[in-house]
Amino acid sequence: MISNTLQLHTFGQPEDVCHLEALEVPTLGQDDILVRMLATPINPADINFAQGTYGVKPELPATPGIEGCAEVLQSNNPKFAEGDKVIFIQRVGTWRSHLVCQEAQVLKIPKEIDYRQAAMLKVNPATAWQVLHQFKQVQPGDWVIQNAANSGVGQCLIQIANELGIHTINTVRREELIPDLEALGAKHVLLDDTELVSKVRGICGDAAPVLASNAVGGDSALRQMDALGEFGGQVTFGAMSMRSLKVPNKFLIFKGIQLYGLWITKWLGSAKRDEIAAVYQNLATMVLDGKLNQKIEKCYAPQDHFDALKRAQENQRDGKILIDWTIG
């Protein structure tokens, strides 16, 4: 069997170095499964992977793709059957039409779930879920503040927090981003500026935020720390501003602020499978119930990967860019 595979032979701009190649699919070993890819998103991590600047630098040639949804075509594993849907919890290089994988690399998900939404479950929804669960015991009625609320993780956090009864304060850099987040269910969307802290106090009163979700760093992260209540925690999982955290001593000494870092890849590599499965079951159920949805701007056929990769790197998109392996 032949797999149409987006392959790297050198690092560089993804649209220049990713080429669609016909590669032979290995034969199934004991307990292996053969899957047909349905869809895979183009994430910033995939762009960095192709550029050679990601936290994991592969040997070449290599296939990008950190997440996706696939259908089982053939199984030598009693836990999987033909027609099952799976998502990938380990890096296998999902930018290809077919691949052979092992049980540890995939999780079975409900067959009725939309495959395009399932393809995006691994990174953004799980990151938002872990921000809310891994570090602090956030209770219904508590306040959480996040920056970059219009990002993929930010939009997932709004929806998950609403389902859990957690109040959110969501900050963005531009006013035109506010209406879409309000339509998503965000009750408080503020500009991330010098007046943020006083506005947060006006909203929360004495019940200051117990947790901050930080994807930006720099001054934005400092404003979050100032807005947090005593012994509040800040979880950093991104650095969009490209500026490091410089923490004033007062936040550590007098407020007892606790700082955490989250890389979902590291969590997937260290957590027990039962814990991982439980998180994704919760997220899949929310998708099926219509309570968690990630916006998709466009699905591209594999042969149109050049346009897909260019668009995925442009600003002001209206949702995710996906490669849909069922097209063409």
Burial letters 6-43, b for 16+ CB under 10 A, else e: bbbeebeebbebbebeebeeeeeeeebbbbbbbbbbbb
Residue type, 5: T
- In angstroms, how far is the first alpha carbon of the chain from the final one? 18
Amino acid at 209: P
Q: CA-to-CA distance for 186 and 159, rounded, in angstroms?
A: 8
Residues marked active site are found at: 54
Local structure of 153: helix, strand or coil: helix
Question: Coil, strand, or helix at residue 319?
Answer: coil
Two tokens, residue 239: 């650095």
Query: How far, in Å, are 32, 118, 242, 290, 307 from residue 39 at the CA level?
Result: 21, 9, 31, 20, 16
User: What is each CA distance from 76 to 57, 82, 115, 274, 327, in whole angstroms?
Assistant: 31, 10, 23, 22, 28
- Rounded Cα distance between 82 and 87, Å, is 15
Separation of CA 28 from chain center: 30
Q: How many whole angstroms separate alpha carbon 15 and alpha carbon 321?
A: 14
